[in-house]
């Protein structure tokens, strides 16, 4: 199955380090981040899970639940978490899905045969409260994720959902945002009382509305 932006994120039930999980029930009305790992006891994954754990306050602020997946079993996951906590100076609190039969990995297209016939690629999805897939990023197994970028995109998506805006290249929370083409300049000046700067008829900036 190939999942694309705007698709409904498939629901599933699976064992995890937090017991049996129904994915939709776990997410509830929150945003969600689902990310896959090639295997337990791997160095890049260890640093990623540790860093994700340290970002829990940031995800909580954004009403976002995270959940990881690896193709090993729950017992391996639990023992690996001890290593992660020790080496990364943290305490992993989010679930790690056990996917020994690779059902979830295949459901979410995490197996890329030209990269590996058995291990998952390092994929990450952001899923909104309506269970729509809003971001897909896939890294090779050798490259760790940039979680600052993931938080940045999450901020952008949540802002876009709240206001009629888009975010420009290298945007960070607090920077000016873009008035999208479907909003006329006249309407934009009414919608955005902080002002609209028109560079070109199609390129217009306004201060971030919620700052």
| Catalytic positions | 45
Where is 200: in which H helix or E strand?
strand 197-200
Give the DSSP H/E element, type plus range, for residue 69: strand 64-70
Distances from the Cα of 84 to the Cα of 38, 50, 90, 131, angstroms:
16, 6, 7, 30
Spatial separation of the C-alpha atoms in residues 191 and 51, rounded to whole Å: 39
Residues 6+ apart with CB under 8 A from 146: none
Question: 54: how many CB neighbours lie within 10 A of its CB?
Answer: 15
Place of tokens 């899970």: 49
Tokens standing for residue 134 = 């809003």
């Amino acid at each position: 199955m190939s999942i694309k932006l705007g698709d409904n994120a498939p629901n599933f039930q699976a064992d995890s380090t937090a017991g049996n999980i129904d994915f939709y029930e776990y997410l509830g009305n929150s945003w969600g981040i689902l990310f896959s790992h090639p295997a337990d006891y791997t160095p890049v994954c260890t640093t990623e899970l540790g860093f994700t754990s340290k970002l829990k306050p940031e995800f909580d602020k954004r009403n976002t639940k995270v959940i990881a997946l690896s193709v090993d079993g729950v017992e391996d996951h639990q023992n690996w978490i001890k290593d992660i906590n020790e080496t990364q100076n943290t305490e992993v609190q989010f679930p790690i899905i056990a996917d020994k039969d690779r059902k979830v990995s295949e459901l979410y297209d995490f197996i890329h045969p030209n990269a590996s016939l058995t291990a998952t690629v390092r994929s990450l999805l952001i899923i909104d409260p309506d269970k729509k897939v809003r971001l897909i990023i896939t890294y090779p197994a050798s490259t760790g994720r940039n979680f600052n970028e993931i938080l940045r995109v999450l901020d952008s998506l949540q802002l876009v959902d709240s206001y009629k805006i888009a975010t420009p290249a290298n945007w960070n929370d607090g920077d000016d945002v873009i008035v999208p083409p479907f909003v006329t300049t006249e309407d934009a000046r009414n919608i955005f009382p902080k002002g609209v700067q028109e560079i070109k008829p199609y390129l217009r900036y306004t201060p971030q509305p919620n700052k």
